[in-house]
Amino acid sequence: MKLYVISKSGRKPQYKTAGAAGFDIQAFLEAPMCLPPGGRALVPTGLFLQVPEGYEAQVRARSGLAIHYGIGLVNGIGTVDADYRGEILVPLINWGQEPFEIHDGDRIAQVVISPVTQAEIQLTDTLEETERGHGGFGHTGV
């Protein structure tokens, strides 16, 4: 499967190891930006993707930024649909205690390409019964 990418920076996203599920994407900034504790920002990447039909690009947090600095994605995981052609903007949040500075070229997120299936949605008045039934969060114990 090929993923066509336009990169304003000229940097080509790449998988860091042969077994990596995701490739890193970098900030594309004219000047550094500071994310204060509790602050949120859309960080440009200068990347435009042509995701093949039947796939999505999942934008995910980088675990190193999360554990060392408290930096994550506002929406947990972002989806880039196959028909989207705009720039990939990463919604970062600083859950840490210190301001976090982002520079041009910093690896700010990772992207995983995943297959998707669109369901045929049917309205109904009943659902099949299961052993779990209405059991919600933590119903099987901690």
With beta carbons less than 8 A apart as the criterion, state whether 56 and 49 touch: no
Q: What is the pLDDT of residue 101?
A: 98
CA–CA gap between residue 25 and residue 13 (Å, rounded): 6
Cross-strand bridge partners of residue 44? 89
Averages of pLDDT over runs of 10 residues in the chain (142 residues) are: 96 95 97 98 98 97 96 95 98 97 98 96 94 77 66
Q: What is the pLDDT of residue 133?
A: 81
What are the residue ranges spanned by the domains of the chain?
22-115
Helix and strand numbers, DSSP H then E, in the chain: 1, 10
CA–CA gap between residue 99 and residue 88 (Å, rounded): 24
Strands (E) in 3-142, as ranges, are: 4-7, 23-26, 33-35, 40-50, 55-60, 71-73, 77-80, 87-94, 100-102, 107-115
Q: What is the pLDDT of residue 136?
A: 76
- The top-level CATH class assigned to 22-115 is mainly beta
CB atoms within 10 A of CB 45: 24
What H or E segment, with its residue span, contains residue 93?
Answer: strand 87-94
